[in-house]
Amino acid sequence: MLDYKLLEALGAVVDQAGFERGAQVLGLTQSAVSQRIKLLEARLGQPVLIRAPRIAPTDLGKRLLNHIQQVRLLEHDLLDYVPSLGDREQRLRIALNADTLATWWAEAVEDFFRDHRVMFDLVVEDQETALKRMRDGEVAACLCMTPRSIQGARARPLGGMRYRPLATPDFMSRYFPNGLDRISLAEAPAVVFGPDDRLQQRYVANHGVTAPLPHHLCPSSEGFYRMIRSGIGYGLVPEIQARAAIDEGELVDLETSSDVIVPLYWHYWRQGGNILEALTQHLTQHARRWLTDLDGFDNPSGVL
């Protein structure tokens, strides 16, 4: 049988990306946590952690992390029936893209948080790569672009985030004085969120631009938006984030009818317990207030 104290040590080390921080979370010494990991590996006969160049779970470690995460969620369901088990705080570790976190997430879960005793551990991850976090056993749920779920999980469509290519009027007059064309688009400085952000590349590729672009990197949703508002570059901004600036004429579209829709699917463990199922139902009902309905789109599994 698995020793769950050893599995908790594994989970803490991976969650905190190190033995020292993992030990602090568990209230143990670093040496004690290290011994628990070694004992777990000795009992299983194979390693559960890759220790260099950075802490990461092995394939077996990923399976164990998935298991312990789901066990924690299911154990919490028993508290209503067996109060003597304690009153351990319920935590949900979720991977979200930065734009979701900066725009609609807090309002979407506000009522849920008031009605349920739960704490969120939010991991910022691009919507194109968030599913890897679930596959590696790091999170119980995530938002991503793909509708296909991994083994042991389900996926629900929530809707699409609408992005608009925006810039200040002054930026437009400097870089696009005659309107948008392939040459000006290849020369104007863009703002890109990070190396995993493919929105910008897809947008310019649709206009025939394939060469490397002059661009700023800004891995912050708020900072990204402020750079565009300051006229430093142009970029694809969530419409709900920029609506007021658009209405006031502070930001304008590079072209008409150029919106990009990014579909968002909620992935969650099937055996995630009542609290995860309740959050799934809540998001399915309420996320549509901020997201675009995907019905009628020909390609709901990718950027449109």
What is the rounded distance in angstroms from the CA atom of residue 278 to the CA atom of residue 57?
A: 29
**pLDDT above 80 for 70:** no
Report the predicted TM-score, pTM, of the whole model to 2 decimal places: 0.78
**pLDDT above 80 for 187:** yes
pLDDT of 231 reads: 96
pLDDT of 301 reads: 36
More confident of the two residues 129 and 10? 10
Instruction: State the average pLDDT for the chain.
Output: 87
Query: Which architecture, in CATH terms, is 161-261?
Result: 3-Layer(aba) Sandwich (3.40)
- φ/ψ of 90, rounded to 5, equals -90, 125
pLDDT of 221 reads: 93
More confident of the two residues 35 and 53? 35
What is the rounded distance in angstroms from the CA atom of residue 233 to the CA atom of residue 175?
A: 10
Give the lowest-confidence range in 178-192, 222-236, 266-280: 266-280
- Across residues 256-278, what is the average pLDDT? 87
Q: How confident is the model at residue 88 (pLDDT cuts 50, 70, 90)?
A: low
**DSSP code, position 92:** E
- Across residues 127-139, what is the average pLDDT? 81
Give the lowest-confidence range in 80-84, 178-182, 288-292: 80-84
| CA-CA-CA-CA torsion sign (255, 256, 258, 264) | positive
Contacts of 59 (CB under 8 A, 6+ apart): none
pLDDT of 303 reads: 43
| CA-only gyration radius of the chain, Å | 22
